[in-house]
Structure 1
Amino acid sequence: MGARIDARPAIEGEEFSRVALSPEATALLRTLWERHGPLMFHQSGGCCDGSSPMCFPEGDFKTGGSDVLLGVFDLPLDGGPAHEEPVDDDGAASVGQIGFWMSREQFEYWKHTHLTVDVVPGRGSGFSVEAPEGKRFLIRSRIIG
């Protein structure tokens, strides 16, 4: 189905990726991008749906000083591998950029983990754009150095 995509680091001074997309998440995000245009993730913490990453059309969730941008995914929109060249031969975007934001308070708890956005069957929050697809995003985590 494809390889995992690591986000470009976005925290000043960091040179490692804190967040990745599973191949299944990448496939779902391509479909969602076609329907909704540019996307973003936000993870607020808390319980229930608040503990799952929420995917929104870019700008629909307002971020601010209480949020941290952990990384930016270069999502290949044409089904090919992620690359640095953002347009195809026709001048159309072939890579979409998706920011992954987390509340600063939640980041304090999770700052020692690497996160992978994955997809499972089920229905997540009604506010996250994957909800009508019968799938939901979730986070798989592992401790980092």
Structure 2
Amino acid sequence: MVERVTATKEALHLIEKLKMEHGDLMFHQSGGCCDGSSPMCYPLHEFRVGEADVLLGSIGGAPFYMSKDQYDYWKHTQLIIDVVDGRGGMFSLEGPEGKRFLSRSRVFTENEQLSLKK
């Protein structure tokens, strides 16, 4: 089965490091504003999700959410969470590491889209 969100080995390594420091984690794909549009990493339950959020799946055991509005735009793609050098969102846990999470994407094939509808 195809996953709506995955992570690179580098991202999974950083997630494990952050879990050692902060405990269980969660992600929310930022919709813009002060932190741009990037995956934000928080201690589990520190960011409140609600009816306006969609659970896409999990990466490294951490649930990954996105707002419904963004989901409507991105639902035809698989998000691939990567990590690069640099400063990301000021509220995201990876900031002090000198790294930032980054969303990449690819369009689902027709077969993948059909399997997601089942």
* Contact kept? 1:44, 1:106, Cα under 8 Å: no
Rg bigger for which structure? Answer: 1
Percent same amino acid at aligned positions? 57
Q: 1:140 aligns with which of 98, 101, 104?
A: 104
* 2: CA distance, partners of 1:22 / 1:47: 26
- Runs of 4+ in structure 1 over 6 Å off: none
Structure 1 stretches lacking a partner, 5+ long: 1-14, 76-96
In structure 2, the residue matched to 1:27 is 13
Query: Per-residue CA shift, 1:25-73, capped at 9, x if unaligned?
Result: 0110111000000000001323562300000000000000000000023
TM normalised by structure 2 equals: 0.87
Query: Per-residue CA shift, 1:78-122, capped at 9, x if unaligned?
Result: xxxxxxxxxxxxxxxxxxx21000011000110000110000000
The structure carrying a bigger helix percent of its residues is 2
Compute the RMSD of aligned alpha carbons: 1.3
* Residues paired across the two proteins, number: 109
In structure 1, the residue matched to 2:72 is 108
Structure 2 stretches lacking a partner, 5+ long: 110-118
Greater RCO, 1 or 2 (C-alpha within 8 Å, sep 6+): 2
In structure 2, the residue matched to 1:124 is 88
- Which aligned pairs between 1:67-86 and structure 2 lie closer than 5 A? 67-73=53-59, 75=60
